[in-house]
């Protein structure tokens, strides 16, 4: 334990996600040893982020304007919406360069243990968007874990009566992976979602 303001800095850094006590200590001493101009630049960037960054009024992705750049892009396909849990998931899918539709960010996943139900997510706003007759398909891209599965099931059951096509991201073995290291759920889904050999060769 350190004294005074140094320990306060370590404690605050330790509250950040993914930062443990040791990492918080290393970052704190890095800040202490850094030039004042570098620290001031970091402080200014943090201030500007809190001041400027907001959530897109349409899809709830992070944005600096009323609408994010994806929602403003007229080249995107309005008939296709991909539902994700967090903004970081949008970044991951965009990196593939395979999706040209728009997104809807839920802001999390259903987790009764954590007190998160459908009411705490942006599901009501999603249903409002689905009143648009241009929307023809929904792709559910929640995480393949217990919370993500619960969220996907709830969304599918809620959207189905609307007559909109509901799809789910395929899940299976990663390219270059070894069968012996695959968990049972992943391997099982790979078997259930098997495709013709000719189709598999097209992606190589």
> Where do the domains of the chain lie?
4-52, 75-168, 171-204
Tell me the average pLDDT across 132-158.
92
How much is the pLDDT for 10?
95
How long a stretch of residues is the chain? 204
Q: Find the Cα–Cα–Cα–Cα dihedral 161, 162, 164, 166, rounded to 10°.
A: -40
Quote the CATH superfamily of domain 4-52: RecR Domain 1 (1.10.8.420)
Residues 5 and 13: beta-carbon distance below 8 Å:
no
For the entire predicted model, the pTM comes to: 0.81
CATH fold group of domain 75-168: Dna Topoisomerase Vi A Subunit; Chain: A, domain 2 (3.40.1360)
Most confident of 3-7, 74-78, 141-145: 74-78
Give 46-73 pLDDT, tens digit per residue. 999 999 999 999 999 999 999 999 999 9
Q: What is the dihedral of CA 131, 137, 138, 141, to 10 degrees?
A: -160
| Whether residue 172 has pLDDT greater than 60 | yes
The CA-based angle 74-75-81, given to 5 degrees, is 90
If DSSP codes are grouped into helix, strand and coil, which group holds residue 166?
Answer: strand
**Residue for token pair 């593939």:** 96
Q: Measuring CA to CA, which residue among 134, 171, 168, 133 is closest to residue 151?
A: 168
11-50 pLDDT per residue, tens: 999 999 999 999 999 999 999 999 999 999 999 999 999 9
Alpha-carbon separation of residue 128 from 38, 124, 132, 152, 160 (angstroms):
45, 6, 8, 18, 15
Give residues with Cβ within 8 angstroms of 78, minimum separation 6: 101, 102, 132, 134, 135
């Amino acid at each position: 334990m350190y004294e005074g303001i140094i320990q306060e800095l370590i404690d605050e850094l330790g509250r950040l996600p993914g930062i443990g006590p040791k990492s918080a200590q290393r970052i704190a001493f890095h800040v202490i040893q850094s030039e004042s101009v570098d620290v001031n630049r970091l402080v200014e960037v943090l201030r500007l982020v809190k001041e400027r960054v907001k959530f897109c009024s349409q899809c709830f992705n992070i944005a600096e304007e009323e609408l994010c750049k994806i929602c403003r892009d007229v080249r995107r396909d309005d008939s296709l919406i991909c539902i994700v849990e967090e903004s970081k998931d949008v970044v991951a899918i965009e990196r593939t360069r395979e999706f040209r539709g728009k997104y809807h960010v839920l802001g999390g996943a259903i987790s009764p243990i954590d007190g998160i139900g459908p009411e705490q997510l942006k599901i009501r706003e999603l249903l409002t968007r689905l009143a648009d007759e241009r929307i023809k398909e929904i792709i559910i891209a929640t995480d393949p874990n217990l919370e993500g599965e619960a969220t996907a099931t709830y969304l599918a059951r809620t959207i189905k009566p609307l007559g909109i096509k509901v799809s789910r991201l395929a899940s299976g073995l990663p390219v270059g992976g070894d069968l012996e290291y695959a968990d049972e759920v992943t391997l099982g889904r790979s078997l259930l979602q098997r495709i013709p050999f000719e189709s598999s060769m097209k992606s190589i």
